[in-house]
Amino acid sequence: MQIEDTPLEGLKIIKLNLFGDERGFFVEKFKLSKFQEFVIPTDFVQENHSKSSPNVIRGLHYQFNPSQGKLVGCTSGQIFDVAVDIRKDSPTLGQYFGIILDQATLLWIPAGFAHGFCAFGDQPADLYYKISGGEYNPDGEGGIMWNDPDINIDWKIKNPIISDRDKKQLSFKEYLQDPKF
C-alpha cells in the first residue's frame, strides 16, 4: 500500500498492492497502522455501496451536519472520481481533483469536500465508501451542480445520465453565498 498526497490539502490517493493469478486476485484495502502513519482517520461509522450504469454521474454531494470524510473505492468496473474543495478558508477553494478508481486505487476525501463520480466504460461500476465523522443525516446534506461552469469538471464522457435531484443542486456561487456554510 502506497499513500500519496494530491494538490488539494488532505486529499490522498491510496495505491493498493493487487496480488493476482489465474484464480483471481487478493488486495488489502485497509490497514490501521498505514492509515495512522499518513494521518487518515480510522473512526468509520458507516459503509455504503452503490451501483451505477455506464455514463451515470452522481454528485456533487457533501454533508455539513455532521461533516464527513469518505474513503472511496471501486469494486467492479471503473469510475472517474471527483473531489471539489468547498472549504471557504482554503487556498484551493473551488478546485477539483479527479482520478480513475478501480480495484487497485482508493481515494481519501476529508470533510470539506464535495464528492461526485462517473461510471464509464461498457459495464456498471460498483462504488463503496466508508464514512468518518458522523452518520448520514438527510437534513445536513447539500449539493453543487455537477456541471457548474466555475468548477468546470471534465467528466470524461458524453451524454451523461443525471438524476432529477442532481440537476437541481446549487451553483458554486450560490453555495458560496449560503450563510450555513
Domain locations in the chain? Answer: 43-177
Residue 176: the pLDDT is 94
Count CA atoms within 13 Å of residue 171 on its CB side: 6
Q: Which residues are registered as beta bridge partners of 5?
A: 12
Give me the catalytic one of 62, 96, 129, 175. 129
CATH number of 43-177: 2.60.120.10
Whole-model pTM? 0.93
Q: Which residues are registered as beta bridge partners of 128?
A: 49, 73
Give me the catalytic one of 61, 62, 96, 175. 61
Whether 62 is catalytic is no
Determine the Cα–Cα distance for residues 41 and 96; give it in Å rounded to an integer.
21
Whether 129 is catalytic is yes
Average pLDDT per block of 10 residues along the chain, 181 residues long? 94 92 89 89 93 96 94 95 96 97 95 96 94 92 96 94 96 88 63
Report the alpha-carbon angle 86-54-29, nearest 5.
65
